[in-house]
Each structure stands twice: as C-alpha cells, then as structure tokens.
Chain A
Amino acid sequence: MDPRAQTDPREDIDRRPHLKICVLVKEVPDAAVEKRIDPSTGRMDRSGEKNLNPYDTHAIEAAMQIREGGAAEVDEIVAVTMGPASATRALQKAVSLGADRSVHLSDDALAGSDVAATGYALSKALEKESPDLVLLGQQSDDGECYTIGAVVADHLQMPSLTQVIKMDIAAGSLTCERQAEYGYDTVEISLPAVISVGDAINEPRYPSLKAIMGAKKKPLETVAAGDVGIDTSLVGADGSRVQCGDFHDPPAKAAGQIIEDEDTDETVAKIVAWLDERKLI
C-alpha cells in the first residue's frame, strides 16, 4: 500500500524530507574480458568491452528503493561519472535502471588520475549538484578503486560509511548496517552523507526494454574540469601522488609436496607435522 495515502489530504505541505540523490558510477572492463598489460605502453590494456561497474547497480537500486519506499520524497536521482567518452554507456545503463538524468565529467586533464585525484574531481562535480545523499558501489570491479566514497566524503565534508548492506531512511537520517571487523555495526548517520553500498544490500532490478530505449532521451550533461572548479594541478597523471607500474611476476611459489596415501596413519602424522611446522594448529 502506498504510504502516501496515509497523509492527511487537507495538508498541502508534504512533510516528508525531500531528497536529491547522486549516484556515482564507473565504467569497468567486463569481468570476462581477458586483462593484460599492453606490451607497447607497459600499462594495463583498457580496450575491450566495458560495462557499468556491477557494484554501482546496487547503489542505483538502493536509490530506487528509497524513492519507491515512500519514507522520503526523492526529487531526482542523478548518475555521475568521471571517464572518457565511452563512459556515457555506463550512464545510459544507470539511467535505464532509474536515474533521471546524468552528468559526465570528462576532461583530458583528468586522464591518469589516481584514487585521491579521482575522488577530488568527483567531489567537485558533486558539489555543484549539491546532493542530500551520495550513493556508490563499495568498489569497482576492476580492482582499481576501493572506498573512493571515503575520499569524496572528506572533500564534501560529509559523514560516510562503506560496505553498507542495509539502509533505512527516516526524517533526514539514515540507519545503516555494515559488516566490519568484529561483526555487524549499526550506525546512525544524518544527511547529507556519502554511503558506499556492498553487493549484499539488494538485488538490482533488470531494466525493462522501454527503460533501456528511453535512456537515450534522458538529459546527459557533459562537464569539463573548469565547469566545476577543479584545480587541474591536483588531478591527472601529473597531479597524482602515486605512480603504479613496474609490473613484474610474483615470486615463484615453491613446488608443493605430494604424499601418496598408503598407510593413512602415517599420512596423517605427516600432515599434522606439516601443519604444526607452519603453526597452523
């Protein structure tokens, strides 16, 4: 039943909080694409199929569930991404899943940004949008970014949690559950906030064909670094404070030992000795 039906019809003010939600999304290489290092550049070969980061679909779904849940009035859900021209596909997927419009932060100056630079750039784009809630996936499927939400939150000066697997919203605050080192934590966070969701939080919906085809018509705004006040000395390969490269092979693993079990008591004794040697028991 629609909770809104319970509102007194004589009241002309909707007392529920109004929310603007921004969802940060990222395009990542499809998990099935064989990843390799491009021998000519010594860098990761980024060609091949790209998809919307699967973790981000959970973030969009979380936004949709807030909208459909009725506890808050969601004014709009905006998908935001930073990436090259191809990143618009991720935005279209986000829109087909329910976002109302999207923002594409794209600028040559941003190429080669590390985690800190990327988080900073995204935070400037978000600042312009002035959201009440920023949602994003816990990590990106390409293993490039974990917890970029924490970076964004520090710049936006908002409270933040990651790995959130349950989120309830009521009157301007969120009650979040997340699984941390010692078990489940329940934390109350007041908006505006940045929440990174884990994949256990929900089961993302499939877009209907109508939604997929309608996605192209939803507004897509392309913004450059200058449009959102990014200090370019802090981004890009030059603005990044960590350089990754020098790919090399991991140390060769010593060949394993094989025991053919004939006398099981003897075999077991050998196993126990082996485990003991390594302080595993």
Chain B
Amino acid sequence: MADVLTYVLHNEGAFNKNSLGAVSEGAAQAQSIGGECHAVVVGGDDLTDELCATLGGYGANKVFRAKGPEGLAQPVIDVMAKVIDDHGHGYALFGGGLLGFEIGAGLAARKQAGVTMEVISIKADGGKLVAERPILQDSKISDSHYQGELGIIIGRINAFEVKEGGSQAAEVVDVDVTYSPWNERAKMLTRGEQRGADVDIEGADILVAGGRGLGKAEGFELAESLAKAFGGNSAVAATRAVVDAGWYPYAAQIGQTGKTVSPKLYFAAGISGAIQHKVGMQSSENIVAVNKDANAPIFEFSDLGIVGDLNKVLPKLTEAIKAKKGS
C-alpha cells in the first residue's frame, strides 16, 4: 500500500533532526505514490498532543503515539508492527541514527520484510518506492527493489533534509500495545549522558578539519576558533598525518584508518586531499577547502576552494562569521 510510516525519536521534548528529515522525505515520497505519511512516537508524558501535532508541519498526516520506554528500539518494533498490521503501510522509513537501524532491522525480522540500510535517496518507480544506497566507497549507487507487503528504508545520517511546510496539525492517535515479553528484560538506567570532553566527530553537522598545512600543532587553534564561530553542532577533525605527528588526538582522525563522516559542511584547512583522507569525508554535503597549493587534489572535489594562506584566511573568516551571527 502507498502509505509511509516513519519513526520519530525524541528527547526532552524535542524531536530528533534526522527523524524530522525522515518525515519530510516520507511525506514527499508518499505523495509521489499516492499515499500518506504517518509517524510513530513512543515515550512518556512529554509527548503532548501539541508536540505530536507539530509533526504535521513536516508532512505527517497522522501520529501514532504509544506509551512506552524511551530510547530503546524493541518496544518501537512492537508498536510499528501493530500499526502496520492495523493500517497496512507499505513502507517504514527511518532517518539516520542508531535507533533507526535497530528498529528497522528488528521490524524486518518481525514482518519478514526487505530492508535497505545507509540509504541516501529514494525514488518512485511504477507506483513503488526504490531505495538508493551507495556502494564501493560511494563510487556507485545500488537500487533496492522491494517485494511483498512492506519495504523498510533506513537512511544514512543527514541524508534526508528537514522541510518545514505547512502549519497543518497532524492527527494524534493513541495506540494500545502489548509489548513482547522480552522487553521487560531491558531497562534504561541512564539515557543520553553527555561526557564533556568527548567530541562526536561522526554526528557533527560542521567539521573544521586541519592537516599538515596548519604548519604546527598550535595551528589547530585556528581550526578550533573557526569551529567555535560556526557554533552549534560543530567539531574539529584531523588528518592521519597530523595525528601521527601528535598535533591532535586520534579520536578526531578522519580517513582510511580513522572515522568516516558526512557532515553538512566539511571545512578543510591545510589538507591536500590525498585519497587516504578523501575516502573518509567525500560524501560530506558541502566541502570547502583552503590550501596554498593550487594543485592540491582537494580542489578537484571541493565545492568551494580557496587558494591562499590559511593563516590569513581563517582568522578573518572566523571574525566575519561571528559578526554575521551577531555574537
């Protein structure tokens, strides 16, 4: 059937950005095959009618709400399975993030359905949805065609853009679920503990990455100032070469042997763009590079490249951004 059911994660009264992206995408895709987009939320009293109804602004017609533990995947599987059984949704859609993977995979088991992970885009083909996911280090795209009554689509992190459209309020429907017995054997003791120093490179929206071109360890101060100016969910990353040289910690390393990231903005300062590094960040949405070498490979795949001295550009850029943001 042509309806799409998305899962929306929340924490402390706010919906998760990747989930909202899934709702936006779900709404667009459902429309293209003649269906509706609905959302599932599971939690406690903070899921008020008003809050849930706001999902209508992202494209959800209905919100199915169940009372249950927050932040655990298995109860959501029970809820979504019931909603799908009762209403016949043809697709379950998840935005990037850990829970989406867990719920989507578990739902695939429960409903004996096909599931595709790390999806970057969806298209409609003959009244059905086809999920596209990258393979071979993002050099090719593979299409997933679903058979049977349900297709499960799990997005890559940041893959679906959040689109706020109407002011229409979604209809909130309460769902009564008998949770599977094994759910009682998992108990959330502490949820969402921030651990201060730990910087989540992989989850950052904006990364300012430094390489050899920074000249010395102190050069990272420029990167840190810039990241701070960007504010929000920004972090500083590093290439293997400078981590090896001890300029920055290993936890920030991007590349063949470090982390793979795909932030909204990857700002590369003094990075040549050798393939060992490129493979770790090439799927970033926007790539800006500053390097004094006009022939640096990074300029071949950056969206905006500045050939110049980063010691001049970075401080001025930091000030300009701060000014623009009015801070």
Residues of A with Cβ closer than 8 Å to B? 35-37, 44, 114-116, 119-120, 143, 146-155, 157-163, 175, 178-190, 193, 234, 240-250, 253-254, 256-261, 264-265, 267-269, 271-272, 274-276, 278, 280-281
Contacts and interface: CB of A to CB of B under 8 A. Distances in A.
Given A175-B189, A241-B146, A181 B99 contact: yes
A244 B142 contact: yes
A180 B303 CA distance: 31
A182 B238 CA distance: 23
Task: Give me the 3 closest cross-chain CB pairs, A-B, nearest first.
Answer: A242-B114, A261-B308, A182-B192
Given A146-B101, A160-B102, A276-B324, A181 B306 contact: no
23 contacts: A115-B117, A143-B135, A147-B104, A153-B106, A154-B106, A161-B186, A162-B102, A178-B98, A181-B192, A183-B195, A184-B193, A186-B189, A241-B114, A241-B147, A241-B148, A242-B145, A243-B147, A247-B143, A258-B299, A260-B307, A264-B312, A272-B320, A274-B288
A157 to B, nearest CB: 5
A191 to B, nearest CB: 8
B194 A183 contact: yes
B190 A256 contact: no
A143 B118 contact: yes
B293 interface: no
B109 interface: yes
Contact of B115 (A116, A180, A186): A116
Interface string B162-197: 000000000000000000111101111111111100
Contact of B185 (A44, A146, A190, A261): A190
B158 interface: no
A246 B320 contact: no
Contacts of B317: 268, 271-272
* Residues of A contacting B: mostly: mixed
Interface in B260-310: 264-265, 286-288, 294, 299-309
B279 to A, nearest CB: 11
Contacts of A189: 185-187
Contact of B101 (A119, A143, A147, A278): A147
A151 B148 contact: no
A36 to B, nearest CB: 7
Given A158-B182, A183-B192, A151 B106 contact: yes
Given A150-B101, A253-B301, A274-B304, A268 B108 contact: no
B13 to A, nearest CB: 12
Nearest to A145: B117
Interface of B: 9, 11, 16, 18, 71-74, 77, 97-99, 101-106, 108-110, 112-118, 134-148, 151, 154, 180-183, 185-195, 200, 203, 206, 230, 264-265, 286-288, 294, 299-309, 312-313, 316-317, 320-321, 324-325
Nearest to A155: B109
Contacts of B316: 264-265, 268
B324 A281 contact: yes
Contacts of A190: 185-186
Contacts, number: 256
Contacts of A242: 114-116, 144-147, 151
A181 B313 contact: no
Given A143-B118, A157-B180, A264-B312, A151 B113 contact: no
Nearest to B188: A187
Given A150-B105, A153-B106, A159-B183, A271 B306 contact: yes
B116 A268 contact: no
Nearest to A246: B143
Contacts of B182: 153, 157-159
A236 to B, nearest CB: 13
Nearest to A148: B105
Contact of B108 (A116, A188, A245, A256): A116
Given A37-B140, A261-B312, A280 B206 contact: yes
A36 B108 contact: no
B99 A261 contact: no
A261 B113 CA distance: 54
Contacts of A241: 112-114, 146-148, 151
Contacts of A179: 98, 200
A157 B305 contact: no
Contacts of A184: 190, 192-195
